[in-house]
């Protein structure tokens, strides 16, 4: 069982930046592929970014390419989502997820472990 804890959400103006953090509580995320998803009101949860354990593979949704960066700090056992040039349409609850596989996936169902979510609100 992997319990994920997210932090870093908040309110920011359009064009601003935020960095989300995700860490497993009480254990390492060694060997897990990590992903970020988001869900806006009235919408389904959608893929944002994913990163393999080795860091050698990354994937981004087209809507965030060039603006968001996923990374991990092995020493701190933490995964980050750096979000730049934020837009009002980025407003959503952002979820961290873990997948017990070395391969990336953009599908919700491929991730077994989820955090509680952190709210990101971008004002225009």
Using left for φ > 0, alpha for ψ between -120 and 50, and beta otherwise, residue 74 falls in: alpha
pLDDT, tens digit, 9 for 90 and up, residues 6-57: 999 999 999 999 999 999 887 776 788 999 999 999 999 999 999 998 888 9
CB 41 within 8 A of CB 56: no
pLDDT in the model for residue 18: 98
pLDDT, tens digit, 9 for 90 and up, residues 65-121: 999 999 999 888 899 999 999 999 999 999 999 998 888 999 999 999 999 999 999
Q: Which residues, 6+ apart, have CB-to-CB distance to 8 below 8 Å?
A: 18, 19, 20, 21, 118
If you average pLDDT over every residue of the chain, what do you get? 93
How many other CB atoms are there within 10 angstroms of residue 67's CB atom? 15
């Amino acid at each position: 069982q992997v319990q994920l804890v997210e932090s870093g959400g908040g309110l920011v103006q359009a064009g601003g930046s935020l960095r989300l953090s995700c860490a497993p509580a009480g254990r390492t995320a060694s060997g897990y592929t990590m992903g970020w998803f988001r869900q806006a009101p009235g919408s389904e949860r959608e893929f944002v970014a994913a990163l393999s354990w080795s860091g050698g593979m990354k994937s981004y949704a087209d809507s965030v390419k060039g603006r968001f960066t996923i990374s991990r700090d092995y020493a701190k056992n933490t995964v980050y989502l750096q979000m730049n040039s934020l837009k009002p349409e980025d407003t959503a609850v952002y979820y961290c997820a873990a997948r017990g596989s070395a391969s990336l996936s953009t599908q919700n169902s491929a991730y077994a472990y989820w955090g509680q979510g952190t709210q990101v609100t971008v004002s225009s």
